[in-house]
Amino acid sequence: MSDDLQTQLNNTIRTVSDWPEPGVQFRDITPILQNPAVFKAVIDHFCQRYSELKPDVLVCIDARGFLFASPVAYALGLPLVPIRKKGKLPYHTVSTDYSLEYGTGTIELHQDAIEQGQSVVLVDDLIATGGTLLASAKLVRELGGRVIEAAAIVDLPDLGGSQKLIDDNVKPYALTTYQGV
């Protein structure tokens, strides 16, 4: 990744102190979406990376993962599979509970979304505790898929998610990193 893209991201991502609770430094990626040049640079970077890695499927995590995976899937002609919060998918699903930075939740995936042996890249906005991405990897594997990478805009390594992904044999990939909580 170019230093220029990392600089653009670090100049664009907004830090919101004490949100959603006191002591949290929230990394807000929405300014990326409001800046067409930076958004295009992010999508172009992911397109280049995944045209080389050649996954069979992009799996996007509810909801900010949708924003980054959708244009990449479109550009590369890849299937796009959403993982949603419980009760948001209309067909038969597999589900799992997980822990996240601010509580717990349940995510679901359509039971016919991944074929046996398909290579999958998970896409979300950030890697924090790793709970959502680990749960997503579990669902993909339950359906017979192979997770080759978990992609995000931001990694917060001090929250331990990247290491948990590595420990679960999922390669984390982020465009920028913020130390501290």
Under DSSP, is residue 141 helix (H, G, I), strand (E, B) or coil? Answer: helix
Query: Which entry of 27, 101, 108, 149 is annotated as an active-site residue?
Result: 101
Strands (E) in the chain, as ranges, are 14-17, 25-28, 57-61, 80-85, 93-100, 103-110, 119-123, 126-127, 146-155, 172-177
Q: Count the helices and strands in the chain (H runs, E runs).
A: 6, 10
Q: Known catalytic residue: 142? A: no
Q: What's the N-to-C CA distance of the chain in angstroms?
A: 24
Query: Which entry of 27, 64, 108, 149 is annotated as an active-site residue?
Result: 64
**Residues sharing a CB contact under 8 Å with residue 111, sequence separation 6 or more, in sequence order:** 91, 92, 93, 94, 143
Q: Known catalytic residue: 115? A: no
Q: Among candidates 61, 58, 63, which has minimal Cα distance to 77?
A: 58
Residue 95: DSSP 8-state: E
Q: Which residues does the annotation mark as catalytic?
A: 64, 101
